[in-house]
Structure 1
Amino acid sequence: MIGVILAAGMGTRLMPLTKDIPKALLKINDVTLLERMIKNCINADISKFIVVVGYNKEKVIDLCPEIAEKYDIEIKTLVNEKYDVTNTSVSTYLASKFIEENDLDDFVLVNGDNVVDPKIISNLVASNNTGMIIDNFKELNEESFKLIIDDESFNDEKTIANGKIHSIGKGLDIPSSTGEFIGVSKVKRDDVAEFNRILEGLIEEDPQNYYDFAYKELSIITTIDFVMTNGLEWTEIDDHTDWENAHILVEKLEGNKN
């Protein structure tokens, strides 16, 4: 399995923290967000990585060999040259198309500005199908990237649901929503070609589209495991409030350990 980490964005809402570095290189307890996510993936037995870079790309490209040597893993960087006028659909497509063209493996896809409980990654990797991590505990708001699952059915442990995605996005009715997609997902090798076809359509429609929307059509074509957090904690880091929350979460998960 391959870990794909999206680290191309500019992080404008975190200025001046991101004036000279991308969000993925911000540090908590002297560990970058990028290295922390890679460590989480390593704990789930992932040893090959693709990091998609853009904003201040040289700083990420220079750091990746150090991380690779430190943990004895492989890291390839791909550049989204149009990072400032595109969105995550383009960055994801660069990695996913590379994986398809080289007939590689299943891949886990994570946003480079996430801090998560390591068990979240492990639970996703252990699922049988293409999958998405859904927070079914956190109180939803207008900014939550919500989804509604039709004909939802859970496994016996109430940890994985299956069904088709009826709707996905921020503007959904909160009481009707199943939960929030947290920006952590997995695409099985057999689904990569279809995933890429859908991404191509999204990019043609609008290069500012999020890759997240691809899972709606993909859920009609293949089985998607909606892996619930069931209280496991995470945070994305979009603004300074999120940055403060990320410090609190890291302290809770790691204490004073790096």
Structure 2
Amino acid sequence: MICIILSAGMGRRLMPLTQDIPKPLLKINGMTLLERMIKNCIKAEIADFIVIAGYNAHKVHDSAELLEQKYGISITVFDNEDYADTNTSVSTYLASSYIERNNPDDFMLINGDNVVDPEIIAKIAKTANTAMVVDNFKTLNEESFKIIIENGTIKEIGKGIDIDSSTGEFIGISKVVKADIEAFNEILFQLIEQDKQNYYDLAFKPLSKETKIDYVFTDGCEWTEIDDSDDWQMAKRLVNEFENCH
């Protein structure tokens, strides 16, 4: 299995922390978010990585080279040169289309600004089918990327859907098995054609009607996406918890 880590964004809401570096290279307890996520994936027996860079891409390249040497893994870095004018659908397609063209294999897809309990990565790595991690535990709000699941398919996904009807929040960690890559990429390409600012997450709604998706629930395992200073403080707290528990 391959792991795609999206690391192209600027992290405007975290300025000045991200004045000179992309969010995934921010450090907590001396380790970058990118390295921490890669370590979680290595524990799940993943050794091949694709990292999508954009903002200050050269620093991501330099970091990837050091991590390759440190852990004896393979990291391919692709640049989304239009990172400032596109969204995660474009960054994802750079990697997923490459995998389809070259050596189709199951791949995990992770937002590079996530800090998660390592158990979440271990759980989704073991699924037999295409899968998504859904937080079924925490209280949702207007900013949550909500998901409504009915009879195994996704009825709705996005921020602007009804909180009370939602199954939970999609946390930005998913998996696409080899048999579903072609269909996933076709849907992703259509989303990009419609609007380059689309999120890749939206591809799972039509995909769920074509193939079986496993929904991996967090069941209280903690995580955070880092968008602002409050998230950053949460991430630091969680890292300290994880380091003391694992």
Q: TM-score range by the shorter chain?
A: over 0.9
Counterpart position of 1:20? 20
Counterpart position of 2:142? 142
1:216 aligns with 2:208: no
1:105 aligns with 2:101: no
| Matches for 1:90-239 after TM superposition, within 5 Å | 90-151=90-151, 163-239=152-228
Take 1:122 and 1:143, find their aligned partners in 2: how far apart are those partners? 27
SS in 2 for 1:66: helix
- Return the match for 1:248 from 234, 237, 243: 237
Take 1:61 and 1:244, find their aligned partners in 2: how far apart are those partners? 27
Counterpart position of 1:159? none
Counterpart position of 2:4? 4
Take 2:244 and 2:12, find their aligned partners in 1: how far apart are those partners? 29
Q: Which amino acid aligns with 1:16?
A: P
SS in 2 for 1:255: helix
SS in 1 for 2:139: coil
Q: Are the equivalent residues in 2 in contact too, given 1:149–1:167 (CA < 8 A)?
A: yes
Take 1:256 and 1:221, find their aligned partners in 2: how far apart are those partners? 39
Q: Which amino acid aligns with 1:46?
A: I
SS in 2 for 1:173: coil
Q: Summarize deviations over 1:173-214 as a string: whole Å, max 9, x none.
A: 111100000000000011011100001110010000000000
- Give percent identity, aligned residues only: 62
Q: Which amino acid aligns with 1:200?
A: F
Counterpart position of 2:38? 38
Q: Which amino acid aligns with 1:228?
A: F
What's the C-alpha RMSD, in Å, of the aligned pairs?
Answer: 1.0
Task: Report how many residues are paired.
Answer: 246
Gaps of 5+ in 2: none
Q: Are the equivalent residues in 2 in contact too, given 1:111–1:183 (CA < 8 A)?
A: yes
TM-score of the pair, normalised by structure 2: 0.99
TM-score of the pair, normalised by structure 1: 0.94
Q: Which amino acid aligns with 1:86?
A: T
Q: Are the equivalent residues in 2 in contact too, given 1:29–1:256 (CA < 8 A)?
A: no
SS in 1 for 2:209: helix
Take 2:24 and 2:245, find their aligned partners in 1: how far apart are those partners? 21
Take 2:64 and 2:70, find their aligned partners in 1: how far apart are those partners? 10
Counterpart position of 1:86? 86
SS in 2 for 1:68: helix
Take 1:82 and 1:253, find their aligned partners in 2: how far apart are those partners? 35
